[in-house]
Every structure is written in C-alpha cells, then in structure tokens.
Structure 1
Amino acid sequence: MDEHDDRFAPVTVRPREPAQLWTLTARQLRVICGDPRIVALSIVQPLVMLLLFTQIFGRMANPDLFPDGVAYTDYLVPALLITTGIGTAQVAGVGFVRDAESGIEQRLRFLPVRPLYVLVARSVGDLARVAVQLAALLLCAYFVLDFDPAGGLGGMAAAFLLSVFVCWSLIWVFLALAAWLRSVEVLGSIGFFVLSPLMFASSAFVPLEALPGWVRAVAAVNPLTYAVDASRNLALGWEAGGSIIGALLSGAVLCAVMCVAALRGFRRPPNETRRPLFRRSRGTASPAEEKEQAGGRDQADQHPPADPADERADLVDGRADQGP
C-alpha cells in the first residue's frame, strides 16, 4: 500500500543550477533595462561627475602637487572608475530592499532555487550596470577630454577590470546591509555618512601629500586608497608595487565575508520584527502591548471557547438523526 501511495506523492523538480543562475540573472537584467529613463540617467551620472571634477576642480588644482607631465584629467579618471561604483553599489542595496517590500523576495523563497543564486544574480545584474557606466565614462574621457594615459590601452583595460572587481565587492557590502537592515532610509544614511567621507578622504582627487595631517592618516589606512592607487598605477604605467595585490586581496576578502553575511540575512524570515532599542522591565508592558492584550481579552469574552461536553453531545445527536 505504501508503494502505491509513494507513486502519487508530489515530487519537487529542482532545475539545474546553471539554469537557475541564468534565469535569475536574465530577470535582473530585464528589471534594470526595463525603464529606458533609468538606464539613461545611470549612464549620464558618471559623465556629469567627470565633467564637474575636471572642469571645476581641475581649474583650481595646483600643478605643483601632481606628478610632472600628468594632467589632472589623466590623474582623475582612473580614480573615478572606483568611486563611480559606490553609487551603483548603494542602488543595488536599495533595489534589494524594494524587492523585499514588494513581495518578490517571498515568492523566490518558495521556488526550488538556491538562495545564494538569488543574491549572485542580483550582484551580477548590478555589476553589468557598473561596467556600462565605466565604459561610458572612458569613452567620454577619450573623445571629449583628450584622456591619454601613459599606460596605453593595455594598462587602461587592466585598470577597468580591476575597478569592476572592486565595485563588485562594494555591491556585496550593500547587499549584506540591505539583507539585515531592510530599510531604505538607513541605507541612505550609511551611504552619506560613511562612504562619502571614505571617498573624499583618500587619494582619489588629490595626492596624499596635499591632504591635512589627520585626513592623510585616515586616507593612509582607507581601503579605497589602495584600489584607487592600483587603478591609477595601471592606467598611467607607474610601478604597481603592492597596491594591486592589496586591492585584489581586500576585494576578495570583502566579497567572501559579505556574501556569507548577505546569505544569512536573506534566510531570515521576512516578517521578523526588529528588537526594541530600549527594553522594558518584565513587570511592565508598553502601551501597544497593553492595547493588544486588552483587544485579545475582549475577543475572548465575545467568543468563549466551546465546552468539549457540548461538542460530544452535538455529535451524538447528529448520529441519532442519521439513523441506523
């Protein structure tokens, strides 16, 4: 009998893992490219930053502070490849929270797919957006601002790939924050109060020697400085030293740690409530708890629990009415 019952048991068919990842990634790319206005604005944003920094700050920059024979545009563009990914990484976290609020995340939980592939597909989709932004930035620098790095096309291609990898690690940071915080407002506050100081307190826009003493100390230990120096060394054909190894190693460690953190946060129940900031003593209850308890008591008074003896009597009467 058990064998016949097993034949009719529901069977869950899990798609192959490459197919899962491809389907989720294609969905994410369709979401990103679904609105042409968002695509156009995401491409224009780094171009506006490039023109503002080169035409405004480039005019005020002291040539004595920069290496000999290096224009400010050549010095700035490799750094913008890194800093451009910060804004896109924050957008990735916001999009993850929006999916959770709209219910898409809950639907994905019931599908026979690995949770890790959901996160990887989102990171790859946002990484494709970063690659398009960086490519548009380089094209504008080459054809509009006469960007001519000493490292040539090979050095610039290496700087581009390094920047894409660093931006991918930043995307994982914001995915982990979004999975645990689940608040767009908190993510925006973190992006302003943490990432903006890290971006400006680095060697992205001016050399470390031109910074004040305390800012130089922060920039010396800033991980963003290693990535900026590595991208600049590759683009300008300078001696790389340990900057490339530091950028790759820090990016790999950041990806691994944040991936685990994002996966654990994604597996939490979607309706899990946050702990209160200030706990009350066990003897007292908050006004909301008292109101909820009072409502429960009123409902219990209106609908008292049924007596088991009455239920058994109703069952006997029903059988008697049916007859033999």
Structure 2
Amino acid sequence: MTTTPSPSPDILGLSPEVTNQAGPVGEFIQETLALTRRLFIQLQRRPSTLIAGIIQPLMWLILFGALFKNVPQGLFGASRDYGQFLCAGVIVFTAFSGALNAGLPVMFDREFGFLNRLLVAPLVSRFSIVLASALFITTLSVLQSAAIVGTGYLLGSGLPSWSGLGVVMLIILCLVFGVTALSLGLTFALPGHIELLAVIFVINLPLLFASTALVPLEFMPGWLQVVASLNPLSFAIEPIRYLYLHPAWTFGDVVMAAPWGNVSLWQSMALLLGFAGLVVVSIQGLLRRTLA
C-alpha cells in the first residue's frame, strides 16, 4: 500500500526533528512563532510601513496641537491645552488604523498562493495563521502607542501614573484585538485586496470624526453625540484621556457622560471586551469554512 507523504514543515522554517519532539501545544506555539517571525522579516525588508505608521500620528499630534494651541484654556475640559486633549485620540486612532490593516498581509498571501501552501501543511491548528497576524499587529500597535506617549510627554502632555499606563495598554490591546478580528473576517469575506482597501478607506475616517478623538462630546450636535457615544473608539479614547488628567483614579470613576447615561472606567473596558468578543464570535463560522 502506497501512502502519500505529508507536506514538510520546512515551509515554516521548522526542522522535522523539532516538530516531532514537541507536543501538540509546543508545536502550536512553534508554528505560531514561525509565522509571526515571517511577518517581522517582511517588515524588516520593508521598514517604511512601520516608519510611516509612527510618523503620521506624530505629525497629527504636533500639527494639530500647534494649530489649536491658542484656544482659550478650559475649552477642552480639564486639559491644559489641545495637545494634551488630542494625545488620547491619536493613540487610539493609530492603534485602530493599524489593526484595521491587519488583514492585508493575509489577503496578499491569499492572492499570491502562499495561504494555500499553509493550508496543506501539517499544522497542528490553522488558527496559528490568524493568531500570528494578531500577535504581529499587537506588537506594532504597542510600539506605535509607546512612540506617541513619549512624544506627547516631550510636547508637554504629561503621562498617566504607572498603574494608569498599564490600564492604557490594556485598553489598547482590547481595541486592537477586536478590530484585528474584524479585519481578518473581512479578509476572508471579500474577494481581493482592492475591496478590502475600499472598505478600510470607507470606515476609517468616518469612525474617527464620529468619535471624541478631535472634540469633546458636548461640542457635537445631538444626533452625532449619540453616534459618538456608541463608537468603540470613544470607549477607548475617553478612559485614556481621563487617566492622563487624573493621577488618582478608580475603576468606578465616570469617564464619559453619554446622552444615554454615564459610563465609568470599568464599564468602558467591559464594552470594549464585549465588542471584541462579539466580533470574534461572529467570524468563527467564516474562519472555519475558509480554513477548512
């Protein structure tokens, strides 16, 4: 009886000896790290993506902060100036934009045939393909956020407390996780990268302007206040802004006065987790069908 040999794990850069010695969990970790390393190698060869992803939000922070530097103090709540008010919005929008683009590498793998090679490889779990993209985007988002926080500090926006910085990172991770899942779902639902880019362009700026990134909620007309208070970006921006302005904070503090009620710090984080969980559950069937 003739058996067909399984595809070699060399496609992931792993030797057969290593994969045979590891258990299922170890193999899953190895293949996830190998796929993540591949994405970082691509970034190393094309570093302009990371450089542009850091320079663009810094330009927003510097130019917008200078543009509204002379507005009357107190116009933007408790913020000392517009730069301090804007910093939280730039942090969140940068992480959101990066996560929204998370599906592009997978889409290009689909179009160039590399994804098909992965699907016939003897992977312990094809979920490692999705997890590798999530780890890659999360790492980039943390680097970009750290660059913006550091630049904001140099420009006089200050810093949250150490515990506040930890909560800021948790908020960013929750948002990035949900938006990355949404982007990967769109990647497998749409026919090509042109359609994916079109969707990204359509929803990117409208979500920015329909949030509290650029102006306080009370500056908006009534209908836009309702929209902004339901925008996941606002649930990330307002807590971060509050942590910047209040060194002594608690999870029960109100961070946003929405038209439908006050939202506390823990409630905003719970809403972000709920958003991420809803997106992950909604794309499960699509991922199973596509990766089967």
Q: Are residues 62 and 198 of structure 1, via their aligned partners in 2, closer, same or farther at CA, if it must alter by over 3 Å?
A: farther
Task: Give the deviation of 1:62 after TM superposition.
Answer: 5.2
Distance 1:162 1:247 in 2: 8
Q: Residue 235 of structure 1 aligns with which residue?
A: 244
- Note if 1:83 corresponds to 2:93: yes
Q: Does structure 1 conserve the Cα–Cα contact (< 8 Å) formed by 2:174 and 2:272?
A: no
Deviates more, 1:10-19 or 1:97-106: 10-19
- Segments of structure 1 that go 5 or more residues without pairing to the other structure are 269-324
Q: Give the alignment of 1:136-175 within 5 angstroms.
A: 136-143=147-154, 145-149=155-159, 151-175=160-184
Q: Give the alignment of 1:70-109 within 5 angstroms.
A: 70-109=80-119
Q: Does structure 1 conserve the Cα–Cα contact (< 8 Å) formed by 2:79 and 2:245?
A: no
Distance 2:116 2:71 in 1: 51
Distance 2:280 2:93 in 1: 17
Q: Are residues 9 and 99 of structure 1, via their aligned partners in 2, closer, same or farther at CA, if it must alter by over 3 Å?
A: closer
SS at match of 1:81: helix
- Give the TM-score of the pair, scaled to structure 1: 0.72
Q: Does structure 1 conserve the Cα–Cα contact (< 8 Å) formed by 2:83 and 2:157?
A: yes
Residue identity over aligned pairs, in percent, reads 25
Q: Does structure 2 conserve the Cα–Cα contact (< 8 Å) formed by 1:115 and 1:263?
A: no
Q: Does structure 2 conserve the Cα–Cα contact (< 8 Å) formed by 1:50 and 1:77?
A: yes
How big is each residue's C-alpha offset from its partner over 1:175-224, in whole Å with a ceiling of 9 and x where there is no partner?
Answer: 11011103222222222222321211111111111111221121122222
SS at match of 1:59: coil
Task: Give the deviation of 1:112 after TM superposition.
Answer: 0.8
Q: Give the alignment of 1:131-280 within 5 angstroms.
A: 131-143=142-154, 145-149=155-159, 151-237=160-246, 239-240=253-254, 241=264, 242-258=267-283, 260=284, 263-264=287-288, 266-267=290-291
Q: Does structure 1 conserve the Cα–Cα contact (< 8 Å) formed by 2:210 and 2:224?
A: yes
- Segments of structure 2 that go 5 or more residues without pairing to the other structure are 10-18, 20-26, 255-263
- Largest Rg, 1 or 2: 1
Q: Give the alignment of 1:104-143 within 5 angstroms.
A: 104-113=114-123, 114-143=125-154
How big is each residue's C-alpha offset from its partner over 1:62-99, in whole Å with a ceiling of 9 and x where there is no partner?
Answer: 54432235332222212222111232123222222111
Task: Give the deviation of 1:154 after TM superposition.
Answer: 2.4
Distance 1:138 1:171 in 2: 22
How big is each residue's C-alpha offset from its partner over 1:260-284, in whole Å with a ceiling of 9 and x where there is no partner?
Answer: 155236327xxxxxxxxxxxxxxxx
Task: Give the deviation of 1:10 after TM superposition.
Answer: 4.9
Distance 2:126 2:191 in 1: 17
- Give the TM-score of the pair, scaled to structure 2: 0.79
